[in-house]
Structure formats: structure tokens, C-alpha cells
Amino acid sequence: MCDVKHSRFRTVLGAAAALLLAVTLAGSCGSWHWVLDLASHFRAYWLVGSAVCLALATRQSRWPALACCGLAVAGNTWALLPFWLPASGGPPTAFAAEPGAPEAVPPLSLILANVHRLNPDKSQAVAYLRDRQPDVAVILEVDAGWRAHLESLDEIYPHRMVEPREDNFGIAILSRWPLTDSRVVRFGGSPFPNVTAMLRFHGRDVRLFATHPHPPFNAALAATQLAQLGALADAAAASTAPCIVAGDFNATPWSAPYRLFVTRSGCRDTALGFGVQPTWNARGIAPRIPIDHVFVSPDVAILQRSVGPDVGSDHFPVEATLVLPP
């Protein structure tokens, strides 16, 4: 009887090892098909699962399972490692003014918050913004009701660009600093809006983009998401001013849309060097994955980046402190 149970365990172990390697490889082939790309979002979970499986396979001396799990551990570790290693690009002190150079700009604080259109307790998110008082807040899923609640922050954020919608794709930029050239842009033929504005911060201009593509629920929506982020990347790359892109990409750092955006925009993820920071799903323990992102152009340094508290949404907010070039 023990031999039968042992044989079944080894069979299950081998199947689990093969499955973990399969989903790891699928996540690396997301540019081939949108369904394969879905596997890319759960790299941290594949790493934990393959590490546990590797330990069990080692005890059982199951060499095929060991090989599969070893490859899965290596592949997922490689994908996650850049978020734990010290970020390239230099610390903010790299922008310290040299003698005779312009004075360095004070740090700029930014919050990105998908507040969830159907959030029944809107006062919680409003109180959070009132408490933190960042220089700029990018708010997603803004409808008419949210717009009314955000108006209670007018004394803190006198400058704003609000594009409310009665679906989940309304966007607002709230700022303590003047905004110019504020407009709604639809990138890549997508029906879902993006908001862009030029922020005047301590005498310097910085281009802001706020975005929220649709989740890739099917092939058509996956193509729309890819086109929107690709065109947004081109706009960010073309900016002559320092650039900040913030939004719920509905894509993790290991997915094809994210990789396309990074390649074409030349922007850096503010999370690099600060660890993997899951922002969704705030309403459950798992799965939690990082789909809300703040990117900056290479001339902007990153002082701090973290995930904020529960504000009643299904997303946690993102908090970033940035240093503009002098």
C-alpha cells in the first residue's frame, strides 16, 4: 500500500514539475498569442511552486522532475531579479548641481490610485489623498460620483484635468502645480482615453501621461491594449521634456504589452530596485500581481517607490518620489 501511495506521489510530482515548466515557458512566449501571455502574470507564484516542487523532487531523487523544476526556478528567478537588484540609472544625488549649474529641483511626489468606480466608501480614498497630499495624483476609474467627491480636494489640488466616464475608464490628474496643454488622447485607435498634461514644477516642465487600457479578456481586447500601449510609448519617447507615465496597464512586468511599452518608450519602471510590489487584487490574499505602474524617462531619478494602504478599492495605490533633472 505504501508503495502504491509513493508511486502516485511521484507521478503527481512529475506532472506538477512539467506543468510548472510549461507555464513558465508559456509566459515567455506571450508575444506569440494573448492566451500564452496570461501565464506571464504569475511569475512569483510559479517561482514559489517550482521551488517547493524542486525540494520535494530532490528528496525523492526524481531527476526528470528535478530538471523541470530547476529550469522553472531559474527562469522565474531571472524574470523577477531586476526588481530586487539595485536599480541602474544612479541615485538622485546624480543630479546634484555642479558649481555654476542650475539649482536641483526638489523631489516631486506622485500617487497613482485606481479607486474602483463602484467603491462604496469614497471617503476613504479622499481622506488618503488629503493625508498624503502628493504634488500630483493620477486617479483612475473616475465617474461623475467620483468627480464630485474629488472636488472636496480643490483647496489642495487647484489644478486638474478630469475625464469622467460611466464605465471603468475615466481618468483624472489632480495637481498642486499648474497644468498646461491638458487634453484627452486616444492612442493606437483605442476607444479608451488617456489624459496628458504639461506640469510646471518649480520652474521646470514635465510631461505627464495617465492611462488605463482595457484588460485583455479576448483577442480583440488584447490587440487594443497592445496598440494603445505601443502608441503611448511612442508619444513618451517623443517628449522633449522629462516624462512620467502612470496608469493601470492591466499588464505585469513580464507580459508582452509591458515589454513592448518599455522597449518603445525607453522609460524605466520606478519599481526596479524596490522589489515586486503587487497592487491587485487588494480584496483577496491571492492572486496579487503588479499591474499598476509609474514609469519615468531616463533623465528622471527615483528616490522612493512603494505600495500605499487599502483605500477600499480592488487596487492598492502606488506612491513614488521622483527627482527631475536640474
Summarised one tens digit per residue, pLDDT across range 289-316 is: 999 999 999 999 999 999 999 999 999 9
One domain for residues 75 and 177: no
Residue range(s) defining the domain that contains residue 181: 92-323
Which pLDDT value is given to residue 101? 53
The domain tally of the chain equals 2
Beta-carbon contacts of 6 under 8 Å, excluding residues fewer than 6 positions away, are: none
Question: Cα 231 to chain center, whole Å?
Answer: 17
Last residue of a domain, one of 83, 113, 147: 83
Q: Write out the chain in H/E/C secondary structure.
A: CHHHHHHHHHHHHHHHHHHHHHHHHHHCCCCCCHHHHHHHHHHHHHHHHHHHHHHHHHHHCCHHHHHHHHHHHHHHHHHHHHHCCCCCCCCHHHHCCCCCCCCCCCCEEEEEEECCCCCCCHHHHHHHHHHHCCCEEEEECCCHHHHHHHHHHCCCCCEEEEECCCCCCCEEEEECCCEEEEEEECHHHCCCCEEEEEEEECCEEEEEEEECCCCCCCHHHHHHHHHHHHHHHHHHHHCCCCEEEEEECCCCCCCHHHHHHHHHHCCEECCCCCCCCCCECCCCCCCCECCEEEEECCCCEEEEEEECCCCCCCECCEEEEEECCC
Decide if 320 contacts 110 (C-beta within 8 A). Answer: yes
pLDDT at 281 over 90: yes
CATH number at 152 reads 3.60.10.10
User: Which residue's C-alpha cell is 492612442?
Assistant: 187
One domain for residues 196 and 290: yes
Least confident of 59-73, 140-154, 215-229, 300-314: 59-73
One domain for residues 25 and 168: no
**Average pLDDT of span 92-105:** 54
pLDDT at 90 over 50: no
Phi-psi region of 181 (alpha: psi -120 to 50; beta: other; left: phi over 0): left
One domain for residues 209 and 294: yes
pTM attached to this predicted model: 0.91
Last residue of a domain, one of 83, 118, 138: 83
Which pLDDT value is given to residue 94? 45
The dihedral through the CA atoms of 29, 31, 36, 40 has a sign that is positive
Q: Mean pLDDT, the chain, as a whole number? A: 91
Which pLDDT value is given to residue 60? 67
Which pLDDT value is given to residue 204? 94
One domain for residues 252 and 136: yes
C-alpha cell of 137? 495624483
Give the span between the Cα atoms of 293 and 251, in whole angstroms: 9
**Average pLDDT of span 7-14:** 79
Last residue of a domain, one of 83, 111, 139: 83
Note the residue count of the chain: 326
Which pLDDT value is given to residue 93? 43
The dihedral through the CA atoms of 30, 36, 38, 43 has a sign that is negative
C-alpha cell of 133? 497630499
One domain for residues 7 and 114: no
What's the pLDDT tens digit per position in 234-248?
Answer: 999 999 999 999 999
One domain for residues 208 and 270: yes
Is residue 132 classed exposed, middle or buried when 0-12, 13-18 and 19+ CB atoms within 10 A define those classes?
A: middle
